[in-house]
Structure 1
């Protein structure tokens, strides 16, 4: 297998620049690698389809080899699948759990489809207890500005990088692929009997709907009086078929807003309107460390020390803004809260919090200069 991948690494750029000069690389991508992977993985051909692509019409800068679960999709245009994506510079490739970008681009045309791809990826990763793949990363860089490459980067759910000079053995690759296919099975179970449209709408909109209801509950709640010590993990509830989520307590959020004096902690001069329910500036509660990561923590994340008071605009920005601004906000809040977080038994490095928001190293470094 390594020899076939090295053939692509060594010769694909020449083929891309002169497609008529090296047609053998087409055979390597389209037939030889899929055949060898079938031999190594011993997957049931009735359940799985392995195929490769170097582009339709003109060659693509980033060829790929995909493994489709036939019950989900047999196309890279829609659904979810496992794929090996080559970087444009051929310095390596990614084993990626990914999603069909054409479908999402069409579904959200005119409504920031690339951002929607990232949202789906983030919410799937946060909602499902994925099997841990050794060396896992959440961001990929295909070193290409082509539209398809940018979409694959945004749609990546989780990935592992293989450097050109350190491509794994057949046995190592098989283990990684099997682990990734287990996570694809978790997505299939999450989908259940729902259509793809229903699944995507639930992922994109249901959390927003739930948060609106939560913020309304915060307004009418009496504040809690949380002990400044490690608190027990909150209870869970079913949020969708086959998925549980941790409950947020509106009383604790109300306590955090009062402690912040109903000011936006991103900028205290951000005034909105006076809420008739509180008689104070209207703000919303945001968990700095998302409660969806509660499984990774021994003590509750639903505590005042982890809840930030934000005006609605800043609240939207920390969820949907450009990465550099999000990174700057998270860094600022972390520096303000890291000591009180430790009082509540929450010890987490800033870099790990950045990863929870799926922020890249480039975004994080750029935020230093904002």
Structure 2
């Protein structure tokens, strides 16, 4: 397998997989173990130590939006808080987003119904701090095609990134180069003050 193959498999198989329980499902294993292993391998050429996790959901429920994330342990070890680099898989179309994103759950807990507005405002400020990455990570917004607090929060939490269609997932060299740029933006945000506005 390769990173591109793992991402493509999630994009293509997730809609049908959701019709079955996630416990013991082969795609849940790909998201939890196989895809993170491929992402770790892709990160080997990037200096530094990262924690990589994938989530198809919790317990007996598939996630509305599965994810595969890279965490700098000095910043966060969880998608709930801080900021991190993440692949997000929309429910409504065959694409995957690479997103430098803010932790959504912590914002929801801290800001309640104003969390989305807070995350969007924070994202605008953080994006301006990373303007030198705008050409290489040009997506200022993403859509995930699912209603609900978490999917809408993930959309609001996006800072910058890229979107891949299925054809683009066949270009492993590009995926790895883009991943390196994403990590560079992640590190730049850390060096430039992180989430402090």
TM-score (norm. length: structure 1):
0.49
| 1:42 corresponds to | 44
Matched, 1:121 2:114: no
Measured in 1, the distance between the counterparts of 2:31 and 2:135 equals 25
Pairwise CA distance, 1:164: 2.2
Measured in 2, the distance between the counterparts of 1:128 and 1:21 equals 40
16 and 22 in structure 1: CA distance in 2 versus 1, 3 angstrom threshold: farther
| 1:70 corresponds to | 73
Root mean square deviation of aligned Cα: 2.1
Match of 2:69, SS state, is strand
Once structures 1 and 2 are overlaid, which stretch shifts more, 38-47 or 28-37? 38-47
Match of 1:60, SS state, is strand
Measured in 2, the distance between the counterparts of 1:166 and 1:46 equals 27
Matched, 1:103 2:106: yes
Pairwise CA distance, 1:56: 1.6
Measured in 1, the distance between the counterparts of 2:167 and 2:146 equals 20
* 8 Å CA contact 2:40, 2:52 repeated in 1: yes
105 and 60 in structure 1: CA distance in 2 versus 1, 3 angstrom threshold: same
> Counting strand residues as a fraction of each chain, which structure ranks higher?
2
Q: How many residues align?
A: 194
Q: Deviations over 1:185-205 (max 9, x none)?
A: 12111237xxx6xx2xxx2xx
* 8 Å CA contact 1:30, 1:52 repeated in 2: yes
| 2:191 corresponds to | 189
TM-score (norm. length: structure 2):
0.89
Q: Deviations over 1:333-357 (max 9, x none)?
A: xxxxxxxxxxxxxxxxxxxxxxxxx
171 and 71 in structure 1: CA distance in 2 versus 1, 3 angstrom threshold: same
Pairwise CA distance, 1:132: 4.1
Pairwise CA distance, 1:106: 1.1
| 1:81 corresponds to | 84
Match of 1:141, SS state, is coil
Once structures 1 and 2 are overlaid, which stretch shifts more, 14-23 or 161-170? 14-23
Of structures 1 and 2, the one with the larger relative CO (CA 8 A, separation 6+) is 2
* 8 Å CA contact 1:15, 1:21 repeated in 2: no
Measured in 1, the distance between the counterparts of 2:96 and 2:191 equals 28
Matched, 1:54 2:51: no
Measured in 2, the distance between the counterparts of 1:65 and 1:142 equals 15
